[in-house]
A and B are shown apart, each in its own frame.
Chain A
C-alpha cells in the first residue's frame, strides 16, 4: 500500500517529467527514470544515458514543428502498488502555440502506462510506454 508521502512524490515526478521535457532539460528528464529505465512507443529507448540523448534529439527536432511553447499536461493519474514498485497510468496532452497564427492548440494526446520503482529513496519511472490510440481497459491498474 502506498503511503501519502509516496503518492505526493509520484505526483511530483509526473510534474517534473513534464517541466524537464518542455524546458529542454534532457538530463533532468532522463533522471526521472531509473538507471536502467526505458521509454517508447514500440521501439524502446533503454538506459538513462540513451534516454538523455533521445530527449535532446526530441527537443532539437521541435524547431521543425509548426508550433512552439510546447507544454505537456497530465491528467487522470492512477497509481497502485507498494513495496517499492508500482504501476500507474495517466493521460498526457501536449499543448502548443501555432507559429503562423499564434493560436493555442492541443497538438497531441495519448496514454502513459508506467512501472515505477524507488531508486536511492526516490520514485522513478522504470518503464514508460506511450500509446496514441485508445488502449484496452487492462491498462487501468488494479486496486490493491
Chain B
C-alpha cells in the first residue's frame, strides 16, 4: 500500500516531468527515469543516457511544429503499488500556441502507462509507454 507521502512524491514526479520537458531542461527530464529506465515512445529508448539523447532530438523537432509554447498536462493519474514499486496510468494533453494565429489549441492527447520504482529514495519511471490511441483496459492498474 502506498503512503500519502509516496503519492505526493509520485505526483511531484509527474509535474516535474512536464515542467522539465516544457522548459527545455532535458537533463532534468531524463532524470525522471531510473538509470536503467526505458521509454517507449514508438521507438524504444533504453537507459537514461539514451532517453536524454532522444529528448534533445525531440526539442530540435519541436522547432518544426506548427505550435510553440507547448505545455504537457497530466490528468486522471491512477497509481497502485507498495514498497518501492508501483504501476500508474495517466492522461496526457499538450496545449500549444499556434505560430500563425496565436490561438491556444490542444495539439496532442494521449495516455502514459508507467512502471515506477524508488531509486535512492526518489520515485522514478522504470518504464514509460506513451500511446496516442485508446489503449486496452489492461493498462489500468489493478487495485493493490
Contacts and interface: CB of A to CB of B under 8 A. Distances in A.
Interface residues of A, number: 22
A93 B95 CA distance: 9
Contacts of B49: none
Q: Report the interface size class on chain B.
A: 20 to 34
Which of A7, A89, A135, A137 is most buried by chain B, counting CB atoms within 10 A of its CB?
A: A137
A140 interface: yes
Nearest to B73: A75
Contact of A109 (B15, B20, B95): B95
A15 interface: no
B16 A78 contact: yes
Contacts, number: 68
Contacts of B22: 134
A139 B74 CA distance: 19
Interface string B103-116: 11110000000000
Interface in A86-144: 89, 91, 93, 105-109, 132-137, 139-140
Interface of A: 4, 7, 75-78, 89, 91, 93, 105-109, 132-137, 139-140
8 contacts: A7-B8, A75-B15, A76-B18, A76-B72, A76-B73, A78-B16, A133-B69, A134-B69
Interface of B: 4-5, 8, 12, 14-16, 18-20, 22-25, 28, 68-75, 95, 97, 103-106
